[in-house]
């Protein structure tokens, strides 16, 4: 049984693929190598197809013979979606529709869509859950809501077994290409550079360790009867100011913290309740934030030469 992972060379994919292989699944990856190349999976017995989710022919090749699809490929930066909403739409909305069409034609039995909680629901009083009304305030959130809508439509119109997993803010090893607070804070802390916070630091997020998230994805693959929308979250609300302190403690660094104006499209507070995920998937986030940040800092420290060199001479 072949499982296709779109965006499999990215941060989550590079952690998920070895987990799928360890579980006895044959894995194929579709990736355009915009974030990282196939060398990320060099040690894994996996077929890699180079292609973009906007390329229908590439997706048809990648889905051929697949029984399941984990659709991770996305343009995931909120600020970039505000700056260029059309580019975000092409990848996240049109790209998801392309993958769904190819999956339906290929006879795929299970389709997992990587969605989001905070950006999709918008500024709602936390905690949020599957019953919260989506009101996205960024084009990125809107594009993920669009993807969820198409998943629901393909389940109703074609019988495709779809599930949208709403991820909390994911962090962990192999995230050197990720643009987000955790990665940025860790890199700057290890370089002994000042940390930059947009706003006063009171904004909150729900941070989930990548191994916990990937275990939730595997659980969703193993339970095809579970469909609809499910939140995967740590259930802990953490301010950006607290996150900065945890990173600095783990890195053993003392640096200044600078504040810039808040960015448009960013929600102020967000964390989710994962009670439904526990009920239907047996999911629970097992890694507390301090433990996960310490492991992530250790990985960044051990691989610093590689990511420092890559940033000095970008691809």
CB 60 within 8 A of CB 102: yes
**Cα–Cα dist 108/104, whole Å:** 6
Common-topology check for domains 2-170+206-232 and 175-205+236-272+288-312: no
CB 43 within 8 A of CB 174: no
Angle CA 57–62–64, to nearest 5: 95
Domains of the chain by residue range: 2-170+206-232, 175-205+236-272+288-312
pLDDT in the model for residue 315: 53
Nearest to 86 by CA among 75, 96, 71, 97: 75
Q: What is the pLDDT of residues 67-78, one digit of tens each?
A: 999 999 999 889
pLDDT in the model for residue 122: 92
CA atoms within 13 A on the CB side of 297: 22
- According to CATH, the superfamily of the domain at 2-170+206-232 is NAD(P)-binding Rossmann-like Domain (3.40.50.720)
Chunked into runs of 10 residues, the chain (315 residues) has average pLDDT values of 94 95 94 81 84 94 97 92 96 97 97 94 93 94 97 97 97 93 97 96 96 98 96 97 98 96 91 97 97 98 89 67
pLDDT in the model for residue 179: 86
pLDDT in the model for residue 228: 96
Q: How many Cβ atoms from other residues are within 10 Å of residue 290's Cβ?
A: 11
pTM: 0.95
**Cα–Cα dist 29/309, whole Å:** 26
pLDDT in the model for residue 120: 92
Give the catalytic positions in this structure. 140
For domain 175-205+236-272+288-312, the question of CATH label 3.90.25.10 is answered with yes
**Cα–Cα dist 289/292, whole Å:** 5
Q: What is the pLDDT of residues 175-217, one digit of tens each?
A: 998 888 999 999 999 999 999 999 999 999 999 999 999 999 9
């Amino acid at each position: 049984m072949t499982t296709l992972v779109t965006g499999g060379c990215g941060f989550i994919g590079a952690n998920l693929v070895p987990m799928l292989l360890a579980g006895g699944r044959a894995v194929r990856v579709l990736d355009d190598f915009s974030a990282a190349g196939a060398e990320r999976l060099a040690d894994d017995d996996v077929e890699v197809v180079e292609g973009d989710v906007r390329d229908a022919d590439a997706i048809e090749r990648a889905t051929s013979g697949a029984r399941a699809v984990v659709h991770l490929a996305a343009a995931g930066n909120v600020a970039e979606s505000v700056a260029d909403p059309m580019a975000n739409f092409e990848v996240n909305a049109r790209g998801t529709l392309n993958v769904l069409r190819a999956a339906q034609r290929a006879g795929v039995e299970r389709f997992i869509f990587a969605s989001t909680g905070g950006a999709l629901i918008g500024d709602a009083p936390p905690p949020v859950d599957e019953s919260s009304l989506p009101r996205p305030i960024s084009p990125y959130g809107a594009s993920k809501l669009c993807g969820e809508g198409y998943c629901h439509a393909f389940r109703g119109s074609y019988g495709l077994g779809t599930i949208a997993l709403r991820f909390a803010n994911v962090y962990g090893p192999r995230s050197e290409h990720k643009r987000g607070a955790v990665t940025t804070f860790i890199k700057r802390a290890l370089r002994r550079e000042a940390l930059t916070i947009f706003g006063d630091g009171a904004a909150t997020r729900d941070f989930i360790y990548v191994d916990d998230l990937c275990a939730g994805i595997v659980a969703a693959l193993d339970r095809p009867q579970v469909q609809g929308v499910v939140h995967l979250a740590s259930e802990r609300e953490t301010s950006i100011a607290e996150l900065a302190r945890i990173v600095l403690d783990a890195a053993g660094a003392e640096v200044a913290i600078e504040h810039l104006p808040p960015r448009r499209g960013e929600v102020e507070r967000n964390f989710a309740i994962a009670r439904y995920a526990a009920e239907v998937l047996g999911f629970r986030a097992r890694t507390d934030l301090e433990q996960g940040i310490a492991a992530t800092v250790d990985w960044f420290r051990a691989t610093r030469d590689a990511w420092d060199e890559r940033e000095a001479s970008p691809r």
